[in-house]
């Protein structure tokens, strides 16, 4: 589960390099499991301030297949908002 405040993929500036993909690559490198990962692991992204589950692909073929399914809306995404307190009408 991606916590809020963390990017899914690296940002354009050096202060935005810490992200889900960086942490996964670092973890897999420690476990000697980093062979030929795709350039992007995240098949879809969540905003930085959003927490939730991510779909990741650890090989190029699977990443392409899943990306196509997301693009053609063959995969259904459901979002739930969990709030604390009273939400004001805007």
Q: Find how far residue 74's CA is from the centre of its chain.
A: 18
Catalytic site residue 47? yes
**Contacts by 73-80 with C-beta closer than 8 Å and gap 24+?**
77/44, 79/52
Catalytic residue selected from 15, 18, 47, 89: 47
To which residue do tokens 């939400």 refer? Answer: 87
Cα–Cα distance for residue pair 42/23, rounded to 1 Å: 12
Active site residues: 47
């Amino acid at each position: 589960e991606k916590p809020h405040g963390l990017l899914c993929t690296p940002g354009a500036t050096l202060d935005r390099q810490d992200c889900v993909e960086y942490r996964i690559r670092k973890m897999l490198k420690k476990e000697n499991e980093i062979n030929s990962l795709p350039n992007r692991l995240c098949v879809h992204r969540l905003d930085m301030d959003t927490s939730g589950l991510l779909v990741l692909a650890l090989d190029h073929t699977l990443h392409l297949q899943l990306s196509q399914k997301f693009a053609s809306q063959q995969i259904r995404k459901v979002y739930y908002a969990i709030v604390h307190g009273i939400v004001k009408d805007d």
